[in-house]
Amino acid sequence: MTSALLIAAGKESAPVTDWAARIGWLVGLALFVALVYWLMREGWKWRGTLQGDLPELPAAPEDPGPARLGMSGRYHGSTTAGQWLDRIVAHGLGTRSRVELTLTDAGLDVVRPGAADFFIPREALREAVLGKGIAGKVLTEGGLLIVTWAHGERLIDSGFRSDNAAEHTEWVDAIDSMINKTETEGAR
């Protein structure tokens, strides 16, 4: 029995934690995360620089007329028309935010708390469709109102999601009828 006690007393436990190595790994990981974040931020700014030829966003007119439709929801971003992954970040168009949309006879007023507001004149509207994805945001089929509009030399798709998705169809019909009316008036 004494020999068993001597053997047990002679064994020492191995060190459980090497604190210096653990702290070194944590500092290295934090530096790596900071580097990745910095590179992403620089890429975002570079994309904005490349899109510097995009003109300033139009502001709403003094009297846009009575509201035809109104909607509260989310703005999910803008892309080059037909290229749902080519996000446009210039002039704040890449910033996701809450949105208040108002459709008037003058055009579409986009009010975004915390981000740049803009106005899409009636003559610039090209199409409204129901979609499922834009700029990295994918929803169910028909879960996104996508408005195509002309700005400068570019056609832009902007994605909106209403708090009440059932009203998307009404918006598509109203915008498309407004576009058809503009084309009919222009043909005269």
Per residue in 89-148, pLDDT (tens digit) is 888 888 889 999 999 989 999 999 988 899 999 999 999 999 887 877 777 777 899 999
More confident residue, 168 or 53: 168
Q: Which of 143, 151, 150, 152 is nearest to 172 (CA)?
A: 143
Q: Three-state SS for 71?
A: strand
For the stretch 11-21, pLDDT in tens is: 666 666 788 88
> What tens digit of pLDDT does each residue of 149-170 get?
998 888 999 999 999 888 899 9
pLDDT of residue 184: 64
Where does the pLDDT of residue 45 fall: very low under 50, low under 70, confident under 90, or very high at 90 and above? confident
| CB-CB contact of 70 with 144 (8 Å) | no
Place 1 in a pLDDT band, splitting at 50, 70 and 90.
low
Strands (E) in the chain, as ranges, are 67-80, 87-88, 97-104, 107-111, 118-121, 125-131, 133-134, 137-138, 144-151, 154-162
* Of the options 3.30.379.10, 3.30.420.40, 2.60.120.260, 2.30.29.30, the CATH number for the domain spanning 67-187: 2.30.29.30
Domain ranges across the chain: 19-50, 67-187
Burial of residue 133, with CB atoms counted within 10 A of its CB: 0-12 exposed, 13-18 middle, 19 or more buried: middle
More confident residue, 65 or 69: 69
